[in-house]
Amino acid sequence: MSPFTNEAAWDRGVRVLLGVVLLGLGWSGTVVGAMGVFLKVFGILPLVTGLAGWCPLYTALGIRTGGGPGTA
């Protein structure tokens, strides 16, 4: 595991899936209005952090789900 990642494979998978679902709900028109815009904007966050394998909030809190030193 790279020293720049702080997410386990399962954590990354969940984040990517969550991001895709949120974006899909927002962009498909299933959810409309303010909530649809919210899903479009905030669906990006879990998707990007899951693809990158690094979460800035985890770093700030000292959390690592991927094992090794500093694992919570």
| Distance of alpha carbon 29 from alpha carbon 44, whole angstroms | 17
How much is the pLDDT for 3? Answer: 72
How much is the pLDDT for 66? Answer: 81
**Domain layout of the chain by residue ranges:** 9-61
Which of the residues in the chain have pLDDT under 70?
Answer: 1-2, 67-72
How much is the pLDDT for 72? Answer: 47
| Distance of alpha carbon 3 from alpha carbon 12, whole angstroms | 15
The Cβ-side half-sphere exposure at 11, using a 13 Å CA radius, reads 15
